[in-house]
Amino acid sequence: MHKVNVLFKHVTMTLLIIILSFVSTRTFAYWAQTIIGVQDNSNTVISIGAWGILEAPPQGIPEFIIGESYPQGSYVWYEGAIYQINNGGYINTPPPSTSSYGPFNEITDIYRPTNTYYLGDIVIYQDMFYQVLNAGAANSSTPGTNPVGWKNLYAIVWSSSESYTTNDYVLHENKIYKATVSYNLNTNEPGTSLHWREQGTIEWKSFNSYVLNDYVMYNGLLYKAVLSYGLDQTPGTNGSWKLSGSYEWNAISIYLKDDIVSYNGLYYRAKYWTQGNIPSSHNSWQQITMPGYNPSTNYKVGDLILYNGNLYQAVNAANAKANIPGTVQNAWNQVDTNEYRWFNVYTSTDHVIYNGGIYKVANISNANASTPGTTYNSWNRVDTNEYQPYNQYALNDHVFYQGDIYRVVDVSRANQYAPGTAYNAWNMVNTSTYQGFNVYENGDYAFYDNLSYVVVNAANANDYVQPGSLPNAWNRLGTLYYQSFNTYQAGQLVVHEDIAYLALQVSSNIEPGAPGSEAYWDLYSS
């Protein structure tokens, strides 16, 4: 008899293990798909109990029965999922609906083409958060295919299926662009029209807008806008652009009275306004002998001299007389080059080339005391969208850093810390995954440990507060199952320990059914 009992126990245990294995596999697959969509789950560890999965309807939520009548807004359970009734009355088909505007909405944050969505609703589709902009358009299209219906909340890659407005930033072909207008931004590809301005470059584009004293690069040469018109014409082909750091005469530049040029090794002074006239053969030019440096000469600001084959201009009369060109600052500026010269005196719009980079004066005082790329708030490098530790950044500036894209959220701190190294400085914007250093606002969404969350209290949710770690900070989305850290509003439904409850007032970290919770939760009955 003892042997029979032992055999019976072994058989019973084996059957239980087989049954539990079947149930666990089924529920894991269902919830993995519900929470993170179509992904490779081979490396994902999920605690089955964390989801509160039920093989039967919770108390208060009935199992759907074909032919029964259900009131609009009520809930039903069917084959492991909970649905809300969209259209009340007699229903002769089980959930889910066969299309939008059907009788059922599955309770999940994952996009379901059979659900009906309303203005402002949030869904997850292909690991991105989308918001409904227009219910009619959203319910007839998939997220990411219709900019009228859906808005990708964290889209950084430009798409013709998204909607944009002025000052939005996008990534396109590994370049960062900023919207310069508010219209037709999803029908004009960045880099092809005036609608988008590429960041981190001064390469000339015919469709960009420019103003007097702007600098551009074209065919590897640096040009300065010397007129306020004609700047949409190619540099080097008209008089609106002047080659920076060059006194060589060219046929397209406009010259004014007393302008100096070099031509075939000789120097000429313009007698009056002239353009296209060869200095050696036209009466508008007078050949001159360029003087050399003489410490006995009383120089005036603006005087030009030739020294060691280079052209210098006096910027300080007393210092110019007392010092050989190129030996002290604030005496002579070398003006026949656009390369940085430590002894030159620079002004607010000046651009220079240094160690292969192009720099613009950010702070006149600091720029004249520092070599480009060595001191913060002196020179800004303008030919790259990679983060530069010495650049001075403004609010909402976007940069690349270690393969990610960041946006300035606090100017002071962004100019102190590298992206991703300190809270409240830079926000990483090319991901919807939670980042402890990001600054989140109420209504912001993020993924954390393969779950989706929304900020309900920004004061509690920031400064490295992980979603799900503190009450009244982040709310977990896409589930009716009670979360102790969620903040619930009056009228919200939750399921806790197989029982459905209805929130009577705002609460957080008050367990339904616990002693003292009666003022916050009531039993739900459909």
**Secondary structure of 188-231 in the HEC alphabet?**
CCCCCCCCEEECCCCECCCCCCCCCCCEEEECCEEEEECCCCCC
Output the pLDDT for position 17.
36
pTM for the full predicted model: 0.83
92 or 517, which is more confident? Answer: 517
Percent of the chain with pLDDT strictly greater than 70 = 90
pLDDT at 25 over 70: no
pLDDT at 245 over 90: yes
CA–CA separation, 309 and 262 (whole Å): 12
At 410-421, the pLDDT tens digits run 999 999 999 999
E strand or H helix that includes residue 242: strand 241-243
At 280-338, the pLDDT tens digits run 999 999 999 999 999 999 999 999 999 999 999 999 999 999 999 999 999 999 999 99
Output the pLDDT for position 54.
56
Q: Ramachandran region of residue 140, left (φ > 0), alpha (ψ -120 to 50) or beta? A: alpha
At 122-162, the pLDDT tens digits run 999 998 999 999 999 999 999 999 999 999 998 899 999 88
pLDDT at 36 over 80: no
Q: What is the mean pLDDT of residues 465-483?
A: 96
